[in-house]
A = this chain, B = another copy of it.
Amino acid sequence: MAEEFFTHIFDNGLTLLAQRMEQVTSAAMTIALRMGSSRDPVGAEGSAAVAAHWLPRGAGDRDSRQLHDALDALGCQHHEEARSEYMILSSSQLGRNLPELLPISADMVRRPTLSNETFDSCRDLVSQSLSAIEDEPMRMCNVLIREKFYPDPLGRNPLGTKESLASLTPQDVREHLRKSFTPQGALFAAAGKFVWEELVAAVGRHFGDWQGEPPAEVSTKAAASGVTHINKPTAQAQIALAFPAACLTDDQYYAGRVAEMVLSGGMGARLFTEVREKRALVYAVMARYHCLKQHAGIFVYAGTTPEKAQETLDVTVGELRRLREGVEEEEVARARTQLKSALVMQGESTAARSEALVSDYDHLGRLRSLAEISDAVDAVTAGDVLAYVHAFPADDLTALMIGPAELDTTTLT
C-alpha cells in the first residue's frame, strides 16, 4: 500500500497532519487540544472531562440539538474525551463530508456556547461515570494503577473526584477552556480519503485566523508508586502491576515493544503460557505498553480468584523478571511478526491511523511511515531485547490490588 504523508504548520502554530489512503472511502479526523486532564487546576480536577461533554452542547449559531443533528446528518461518529495530555475530538465519516464537517468543528473548538444551563447536566454525567467505576473493579484497578505509576498529575483519573466535581463552576471551566484551546501546540490530523491541497485550504479557512497564547507547561511531582491494596468483597481478585519502559524517543523503543510481545504478544507468549495455559491461574492476563510524552510503562493486568491470587502474583512477577535470564531467537522472531502484523491491520483503519499521526508528531515531532516502523522492528535482535530488559528491569514494581484478601507483596519492590 503506497503511503502518502503530509504536514503543514499554519502561522498561528496549528499543525495539520495527514495520511492519504487512496483505497478507502472514509476519513477519520483527530483534533488534539492542550486541555488534558493533567492541566485541570488543583481542586478543579475533572474540568476537562466536564468540558468534553459541554463542547457538543451548542456551538456557533447552533444550539445543542441543532449541532447534534448537523453531525448526525453528515454520518459522523464523533467522540470527545479528556486524556492526560490532550482533549481529543475524534470523528469518522465519509471522506467527502470533511468539507462540511470542518466549519462545524471550528465552531466547537473556537465558538462553543458553554451555557450555564447545560453545565450541570454535563457535570452530572461525569459524576455518574465516576461512580460507575465503583461497580467495575477491573476498570477501577486500571484507572488507579496509572494514578500511582505516573508522576502526578499525569496519571490522575480524568474524571476527577466527587469533591472536585462538586466545586466546579461554569465560569471556571469556561475560562480554563478558553485559555487552553489555542492553536499553539494543537494538532489536527486526518487519515483517509481527501485531497491534501483542499484540506490545507479548508483548515486554513476555518482555523487560520484562530489566535491564542500557548498554555504553560505542566509541572509534575514524583509518582506515588508503591504497593496499594484495596479491600473489597469482589468475586475476582484484581491485580495490576506497572514498571518503566522506553519512550518513543528512546533508541531502545523498538526493542522494548518486542520485549512486550515476548511477554504478552500472542497465545504462545510467556505470560499467557505460564500463568494461564500451564497453571489456569487466570482468565485474563496481559502486559501492555502505554506512554505519555516523557514517561512510559508496561502495565500488567491479571484477574483471578481470591484463592489463586497469591500464586498468580508470584508467577506473573517471576515471568517479568525471568526475561533477563535470556530470550530465544525464535520467540523474538515470533514477537517481531506479531508486532508487524498488528501494524498492518491498524494501518488499514483510518481511525487508528489518524490517532497514530497525533501520537507520532507529539512524541517525535515527525510522522513515521509504516515501512519505517516495520524496518525498525525487523532490526531488533534477541540481543537487543536482552539489553533492553536489563536497562528497564521489572525490579521496582508499582502494584495495585483489589480483592477480599491482602497478598504478600514483599518481593515486588
Listed in ascending order, the chain A residues whose CB lies under 8 Å from chain B are: 1, 22-26, 56-57, 64-65, 68-69, 71-78, 92-94, 120-122, 124-125, 128-129, 131-132, 134-138, 234-236, 265-269, 272-273, 276-280, 282-283, 303-305, 330, 333-334, 337-338, 340-342, 344-345, 347-350
Contacts and interface: CB of A to CB of B under 8 A. Distances in A.
Nearest to A238: B135
A268 B72 contact: yes
A348 B72 contact: no
The interface centre, meaning the residue of A65, A122, A235 with most chain B CB atoms within 10 A of its CB, is: A235
A211 to B, nearest CB: 29
13 contacts: A26-B345, A71-B268, A72-B269, A77-B266, A78-B267, A92-B341, A94-B341, A120-B280, A125-B283, A132-B235, A132-B303, A136-B138, A348-B349
A120 B337 CA distance: 31
Given A69-B268, A121-B277, A280-B121, A341 B128 contact: no
A265 B78 CA distance: 12
Contacts of A347: 25
B344 A71 contact: no
Contact of A236 (B1, B72, B132, B272): B132
Nearest to A266: B72
A25 B125 contact: no
A341 to B, nearest CB: 3
Given A1-B25, A68-B273, 16 more contacts: A1-B23, A25-B347, A57-B277, A64-B277, A65-B273, A77-B341, A77-B345, A121-B278, A128-B282, A128-B305, A131-B235, A131-B236, A132-B235, A132-B283, A136-B136, A348-B350
A141 to B, nearest CB: 11
Nearest to A337: B75
Given A65-B268, A342-B77, A348-B349, A121 B23 contact: no
A337 to B, nearest CB: 4
Contacts of A78: 267
Given A26-B344, A341-B94, A69 B334 contact: yes
B341 A75 contact: yes
B280 A125 contact: yes
Contact of A135 (B26, B121, B234, B345): B234
Nearest to A73: B334
A304 B349 CA distance: 33
Contact of A267 (B56, B333, B348): B56
A76 B64 CA distance: 44
Contact of A333 (B73, B334, B345): B73
Given A23-B23, A280-B120, A128 B236 contact: yes
